């Protein structure tokens, strides 16, 4: 799966689907990004591997917030791991860090489910 500038590979692991993201989450892919993950968050636990996400705008944080909301409404979980320092800082600057479950590694992410 590819959204402009962002590759997404999916695999099943235990109780979750792991989505490995690679590239950039820019403002102009907000709608497609949200729509893609909204349906996934309704159906299963989601782990997002951010190790290869080099850039995320504030729109990406907004999309993650909404995906997390959909997951919660459906009794599912969203866990994010492997944020690089600048992406981590962008989430912190929006003061929405507490809204997400964020871990450093995939193993820790799996334990949060």
Whichever of 31 and 105 has its CB closer to another protein, that residue is 31
Number of residues that bind another protein (CB under 8 A): 21
Q: Is 7 in the site for another protein (CB under 8 A)?
A: no
Whole-angstrom Cα distance, residue 70 to residue 9?
Answer: 21
CB 47 within 8 A of CB 19: yes
In the complex, least distance from residue 69 CB atom to another protein, rounded to whole angstroms: 9
CB 84 within 8 A of CB 63: no
Pick one of 23, 38, 62, 100: the residue that binds another protein (CB under 8 A): 62
């Amino acid at each position: 799966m590819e959204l402009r500038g962002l590759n997404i590979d999916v695999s099943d692991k235990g109780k979750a689907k792991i989505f490995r993201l690679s590239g950039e989450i820019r403002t102009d892919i907000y709608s497609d990004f949200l729509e893609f993950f909204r349906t996934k968050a309704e159906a299963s636990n989601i782990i997002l591997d951010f190790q290869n996400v080099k850039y995320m705008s504030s729109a990406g944080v907004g999309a993650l917030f909404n995906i997390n909301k959909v997951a919660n409404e459906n009794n599912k979980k969203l866990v994010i791991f492997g944020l690089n320092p600048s992406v981590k800082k962008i989430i912190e600057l929006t003061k929405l860090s507490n809204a997400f479950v964020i871990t450093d590694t995939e193993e820790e992410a799996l334990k949060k489910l």
